[in-house]
Each structure stands twice: as structure tokens, then as C-alpha cells.
Amino acid sequence: MAETGRLRQPAPPAPLVGPVALLRIAIVLALLALWEFLAHSGWLYRDVVPSLLSIGVAIVDLLSHTAYYYNLGVTAAEIAMALLIGGTSGLVVGLVLGGSGFLSKAFEPYLYYLGPTPKIIFLPIAIMWFGVETPSKIALGTFSCFFPIALSVAAGMRLIDRVLVRVGQSFRASTLQMVFKIYLPAMRHPIINGLRLGFGFALIGTLLAETRLSNKGIGFLIMQADATFDMPRMYAMLIVLFVLAIGANALIGRLGGLDSIKRT
């Protein structure tokens, strides 16, 4: 009975804000205070570290202009196109390489070692082949995202449970049926992981190409802010861009159920 009574005692109320959240708030506040101090200290060149207020005003100003959304749309469309082309070709190449040990040994080392090279250096070739307009940005984004997607899909294909493949074969599934009913569903996580990585690389490739030679897009706006030394605007654009990029990355992971991997 005494035991039961002890169980019925209400649990102590959980604190409204845990120690982790408190520490996070403290770190953010300390960083903001340090930033504001640096902005007013005069230790750095004027406007290199603008005040928080001016950055806040710049963010509001940025988000209230339709021109920003137009340029954001241009960059988003370029990235989406790059992901579509690079993702599809990466998926096909990954499936082919992952499905054949011979082809994998023959060609995968080239992808593996070309993957970590800096893709932006291919911009002069992309401009030569596709011109200075949007297609060269899409080409660079495509080239950037192709490698992680192809390698991730090939690795995922090799990890498919052989039982699933034998089940498909025992049902005399055609190649297309095997791809759509066995391989792709079984490789959902590696594909989404590859897409996440590919998205990051496509974003970087496209944005850098825009900063180098463009008259529209977010990269162009950043270079415009740099050219006019509008530092609050540059910080505002970088902050909004980082929030969007991190958010999109997390969204792709969540839509693909990557968060469920951690729980299982």
C-alpha cells in the first residue's frame, strides 16, 4: 500500500525552460551582445560589422521587396532544374553501377575521385558550352549534384537485402518492375540522403556561378551588395539564404523519412 501511495504522488513539475534551452538562450544573447559591442567599438572598418538594428531593418527591407522574390525564384528554379537533371542522371548511373560489380569496378573509381574536386572551376567550360545565361548555372549545379547522388545510389543498391531481390526474381519481375517495385523502395533512404547532399552541392554550384557572372539570382544580388558596399543588406541576404538552405535540407530529410532512421 505504501508503495502504491508513493506512486500516486504527483511528479515534480518540469521546469518551463530546461538547462539546455537556457544555455542556448545565453549563448545567443552573448553572441548578439558581442556583435553589437564590435559594431560600436570602432575596432573594425566602419560597416564591416553593422549594428543588429541595421541588419534587422535590412532583412525586413529585403523581404518586403518583390525584386528579392523574383531573384529567389530564379535561383530556386535553377537549383530545381539542376537537381532534376543531375538527380535523374545520378539515379540512373547509380542504379547501373550498383547493379553490376563489373561496371562498378570499371567506372566508380572515376566518380569517387572526381566527386570531391572543386566543381566551380568548370564554370569557364560551362559558359563556353551553354552561354552566360541561366543554362550555364544549371549545368554547373547539375554537375555538382550528380556525383553525390550517383555514389549514394550505387552504395545503396549494393546494400539492398538479397532476399528482396530474390522475391522479385521469383515473381519473374521485369527489369522495370524490379527497379520500381524492389530497388527504388528498398533504397529510399540512400536516395534521399544523396538528394540532400546533392541539393547542398547544387545550391553551392548555382550560387557561385551566379556570383561570378550573372544579372539575376541571389548570387547576383550578393555581388551587387558587395559592389555597393551595402553590408547590412549583404548580411541580411546571407542570413535569409542560410535559413532557407538549412530549412530545405531538413525538409528533404523529413519528407524522405530520414528522421525515422534514428528512431529505429
Q: Which residues bind another protein (CB under 8 A)?
A: 19-20, 23-24, 27, 44, 48, 101-107, 109-110, 113-114, 116-118, 120-125, 128-129, 200, 203-204, 207-208, 211-212, 219, 222-223, 225-226, 229, 231, 234-235, 238, 241-242, 245-246, 249-250
| Distance of alpha carbon 72 from alpha carbon 179, whole angstroms | 35
Q: How far is the CB of 3 from another protein (least distance, A)?
A: 33
In whole angstroms, the minimum distance from the beta carbon of 89 to another protein comes to: 16
Beta carbon of residue 166, minimum distance to another protein (angstroms, whole number): 21
Cβ-based nearer residue to another protein, 121 or 176: 121
Q: Which is nearer to another protein, 63 or 243 (CB)?
A: 243
CB of 48 to another protein, least distance (A): 6
Minimum CB distance to another protein smaller for 149 or for 182 = 149
What angle, rounded to 10 degrees, do the helices at 231-255 and 52-63 form?
60
- Mark out the alpha helices in the chain (DSSP H runs): 2-8, 19-41, 52-63, 66-99, 101-114, 123-130, 134-158, 162-170, 175-177, 184-186, 188-212, 218-227, 231-255, 258-263
Query: 130 or 164: whose CB is closer to another protein?
Result: 130
Q: Which residue has the cell 572543386?
A: 118
**Closest approach of Cβ 252 to another protein, in Å?**
10
* Distance separating alpha carbons of residues 199 and 193, to the nearest angstrom: 10
Locus of grid cell 562498378: 104
Nearest-angstrom CA–CA distance, 155 and 134 = 32
Q: Which residue's CB is nearer to another protein, number 80 or number 238?
A: 238
Q: Considering beta carbons, is residue 176 or 227 the nearer one to another protein?
A: 227
CB of 1 to another protein, least distance (A): 40
Residue located via cell numbers 547501373 = 96
| 59 touches 48 (CB < 8 A) | no
